[in-house]
Amino acid sequence: MSAYSEAFAHEDYFMQLARRNGEEVGTIDPTPAVGNHIKFLTKLLNSKSVVEIGTGSGVGGLWIFQGISNDGVLTTIDSEREHSRIARTIFEEAGIPSTRYRIITGKLIEVIGKLADNSYEVVIIRPALDLFEMVQESYRLLKTGGILVIDQVLSNGKVADPSQRDPESIARRDAIKVIKEDERWSATVVPVGAGVLVANKLT
């Protein structure tokens, strides 16, 4: 099933190029199926403002541009300057106007803290570091009815194994629990890619 769902999503030349660039420097990027899932959600909400935490090589951003409205803007944040550089390059090569994105490099939680309240339809998180704090900030950033997406949330199955006590697995396990128990969210976990949590901000 996993192989079929990954093959269902077609990655264009620039996505494939970005993915190869990312492999060279060790970025964390969405699988094709996860990228297509994010595209579907952004298009479903007719999103005009999206935040991506964990730019990676730009693969995720390219999927978002396929789903976001024509006048929409992507704000993508990464802690690694090299990641920001290669993403900016691939966006330019793909012909994405610079008015359609903001690439910000810095400590993630500090950058997120400067973004405006209730201003975004979709927030996407990939890194596990400071995940609890990023979930709290995402609630603040999202409009009512907006969607939070946590990519890699199951760590390829490690989160479901209680014997796995590494910091990333613990952080993701705790984030799932917090969102599940918070009545302000309606959430589901989808076993696609390395696992995706999708949460709708209710109030």
DSSP code string of 66-110? HHS-TT-EEEEEES-HHHHHHHHHHHHHTT--GGGEEEEES-HHH
- Domain locations in the chain as residue ranges: 2-201
Residue 180: CB atoms within 10 Å = 14
Tallying the residues shown for the chain, one arrives at 203
pLDDT band at 200 (very low <50, low <70, confident <90, very high): very high
For the structural domain made of 2-201, what CATH number should be given? 3.40.50.150
**How much is the average pLDDT of 51-66?**
98
Q: What is the pLDDT of residue 156?
A: 84
Specify the 3-state DSSP secondary structure of 26: coil
pLDDT band at 75 (very low <50, low <70, confident <90, very high): very high
**pTM of the entire structure?**
0.96
